[in-house]
Amino acid sequence: MHDWVFLFPGQGSQYVGMGLEFYENYSEVRELFSQASEILQMDVPKLCFEGPEEVLVLTENVQPAITVVNLACFTVMQLHEIYPTVAAGHSLGEYSALYAAGVLDLKDVVELVRLRGALMHEASREEPGAMAAIMDLDQGKVSDICEECGVEIANLNCPEQIIITGPIGPIDRAVALSEGAGAKKCMKLNVSGPWHSRCMSVAREKFEPFVRKCTFREPQIPVINNVDALPLQSAGQVADKLIDQICHPVLWQQSVERLIADGHKCFVEVGPKKVLRGLMRRINRSVKVLNVEDAASLASFLQANQ
């Protein structure tokens, strides 16, 4: 048995069919999907299992969909008596981490992420933008290029991967400058808006009053937040962090390094795909990292936990 850090993925980890095996095999997961569908007044199973992909990937759909699948995977872990000692989530995934820590209940979680997605989509239509991955270029150099071009860092994912965000033209210029500066690879991302940038300030302003109305409970386990890569100390901190996160870079590498520095050695990505598992291997190969998203990955995890 190990002490596990639960990592929850965010937007970009979706695929049609995610969560289906757990839905078919666990009545508790079917109940979770049913409750989420009732709260949101949307057919969450159909969205997750049938798509179609062009509907699933819409920001206002994919944020609740991934969150419910994350919570389904978390539910299955609980049913196998596997509980986190600490949690973290990548951007959207932070809401799942807060649920796992007992800070938010199901109703508030799914309503917040549905609203978050809708407001981000609305903001991206008012201020269209783009994002790009910059591979193997010094963070200081990327920061200088961002400042020169009028764009921002959205995600510090791992030493070799920094995501930049901002208006389309300036992002194209920043990509060209990054390639000229020696970046190993630069790739524009298939996203519908400039997430984690000042272009989202309207979304942030509209989101704030809804977050303030939520009831936040004291964390039952530490949650490392994206904004400053530190553990949340109290329920009173949560609203500010969730509000700030919309326009603030996701400090994922720093969050993981903080967890490792605190002595954690066993990590499991709880949710669709293996994006965070892959990033972990680029941050520190000395720790154990697994994932749970379906029957096969669950079986592998349970065997490793013996």
What are residue 164's DSSP bridge partners? 132, 153
For 24-61, b/e burial (b = at least 16 CB within 10 A) is eeeeebeebbebbbebbebebbebbbebeeeebbebbb
Catalytic residue among 90, 178, 196, 255: 196
Q: Is 196 in the active site?
A: yes
Q: How far apart are CA 195 and CA 26, in angstroms?
A: 35
Catalytic residue among 13, 37, 91, 124: 91
Q: Is 264 in the active site?
A: no
Cite the active site residues: 91, 196
